[in-house]
Amino acid sequence: MDDEDSVEDGSSQEVSLAVARARRSTFMILPLLLAVVLLVTLLQHHRSRSFDARLVEGLEAAEVVSFGSSPAQPHEQDNAAEQPRASVQEREPSEQSFRENSPSRDRDGTAISDAQSSQDSYFAPVDYDAVNPTTATAPAQASHCGLTETDVEFIGATFFVLANMTRPEECCAKCQMHPKCRSWVLDSGRQECKLKHLKPGSMPAKISQRGATSGLPFRWDRNHSVLCFAVMRPASYEQGLLAWQYQRKVNLFACDEWSVFSSKRVEIVPGLLESAVVDSDLKCDVGGEFGTALNTEIFFKVWDMVFEEGRYLYHTWVVKVDPDAVLFVDRLRVALSYHREEENGVYLNNCKFGLHGPLEVFSQNATTVWRHGRKKCVDHFTRLCSGPCLWGEDMFIDQCLQKVHKVRRANDWNLISEDHCDSPDWSECRNGRITFHPFKDKDSYEKCLQNAQAKPWSPYGALDVI
């Protein structure tokens, strides 16, 4: 028994020594394990911080594609992957390239050079009576950017990058000029302006990105948003009037998005507002049963450009307004709130004599019906009139949508007050209407604004719809 006890004691001592050694080893290994865990945590944190910076690029294409270029074929992408990353100057489209790929070009394909100002300000002094109205622009001011936020980046597919950009308002203005652009981001460190695209029906999303300034060119993201467009004759009073309206954010420039069309590219407000080009000289005869401007073919070309730009696909309502119309968009929103979109669309009739052209209001679906159904109307009325009907554009589109395509026509006599629609007090601008027309110079236009806003406005007229 004594020997067995001694053996057991020896075994116990060995076990104790082994346990002690194991504990010492554990205490030595534990700090190493903690160090490894800490290192992994730091690496994960670093990756998460850099993930936001790469998220947009991960969602977008692997390379920046300039507008108008075709996607690379698979073998081209493989070859591109073997090439080293180019410098900004090598890979970014130039300002000239931006203008060449913009819709705002002459139809013969030649670029129109910009007037270079020797002044630091964006604009030349206003001169509405200038012999050369191309110099009649607005005073210096900031752009009317839809939305601007700092330390964020709006997500979208980058289709154009402009180098040497340092000012957010300049980046936003470039985005506004391009109908494809739905968001923009300015990287102040790299001095790059990215123009981004989103498909119609998408809603903007953003991520955190320190040092970036990003936003939306227009508030196309709003519910029941309104797109307004106007047609401007170059070298006319309309150019100076539109520049003045832009400065004060009135008429179409109070809408959620806007576009100006003309027969050539014109910088209405240098650096901030320019016209898109339609394939027409904007000249027409006067005649027909009502002695009106026979401008149907002109506005066919204008609508072609509206469809080509595709801005209307992001909005609930599409509004055509004349440059000399005094439109109160806040009042218009009240009237529109009483109308709901229908499968075949809805449009508003503004006069008891029929639709008048200074203000035309269509829902998005009605615009789509007009886009795809115009030829049917042309064929129908050509047979009916035994040739082209001598109508103005407003009468043609009214008859087309109402009689041929059965689009709902909602009458609202509160929409416009003008001399051609039995409104003798139109020039006073005090009867509470939504639009007053015509006011062809800055002084009378401003006086109309003042009179209309002299007392609180009541939306009672907008309720009287049929």
Report the C-alpha gap between 86 and 104 in whole angstroms.
29
pLDDT band at 293 (very low <50, low <70, confident <90, very high): confident
**pLDDT for 23 beyond 70:** no
Q: How many domains does the chain have?
A: 2
Tokens standing for residue 279:
């394939």
**What mean pLDDT do residues 413-435 have?**
94
**pLDDT for 53 beyond 70:** no
Whether 236 maps to a domain, the answer reads yes
**Tens digit of pLDDT for each residue in 95-107?**
455 554 554 434 3
* DSSP class per residue in 316-371: SEEEEE-TT-EE-HHHHHHHHTT----TT-EEEE--TTS--TTEEEEEHHHHHHHH
Q: Say which residue, 314 or 143, is predicted with more confidence.
A: 314
pTM summary value? 0.72
Whether 376 maps to a domain, the answer reads yes
Same domain, 345 and 249: yes
User: What residues make up the domain containing 172?
Assistant: 88-101+147-216
Whether 83 maps to a domain, the answer reads no
Report the C-alpha gap between 237 and 175 in whole angstroms.
27
**Do the Cβ atoms of 299 and 185 come closer than 8 Å?**
no
Query: CATH code at 265?
Result: 3.90.550
- Which among 216, 241, 272 is the end of a domain? 216
Same domain, 352 and 419: yes
Same domain, 204 and 251: no
Whether 256 maps to a domain, the answer reads yes
Same domain, 361 and 435: yes
Phi, psi of 337 (to 5 degrees): -65, -15
Q: Say which residue, 97 or 158, is predicted with more confidence.
A: 158
CA angle 208, 209, 213 (to 5 degrees): 110
Query: Which of 283-287, 337-341, 389-393 has the least mean pLDDT?
Result: 283-287
Same domain, 235 and 185: no
Query: Which of 18-22, 362-366, 428-432, 456-460 has the least mean pLDDT?
Result: 18-22
Sign of CA dihedral 115, 117, 120, 126: negative
Report the C-alpha gap between 101 and 109 in whole angstroms.
10
Same domain, 352 and 418: yes
Q: Looking at residue 331, what is its pLDDT?
A: 97
Tokens standing for residue 183:
């968001």
Q: Please name the residues in contact with 172: beta carbons below 8 A apart, sequence gap of 6 or more.
A: 143, 145, 146, 148, 184, 215, 217
pLDDT band at 14 (very low <50, low <70, confident <90, very high): low
Whether 275 maps to a domain, the answer reads yes
Query: CATH code at 182?
Result: 3.50.4.10
Report the C-alpha gap between 237 and 299 in whole angstroms.
20
Whether 288 maps to a domain, the answer reads yes
Whether 283 maps to a domain, the answer reads yes
Whether 431 maps to a domain, the answer reads yes
**pLDDT for 58 beyond 80:** no
Same domain, 407 and 309: yes
Q: Looking at residue 211, what is its pLDDT?
A: 92
Same domain, 154 and 237: no
When computed from its CA atoms, the radius of gyration of the chain, rounded to whole angstroms, is 32
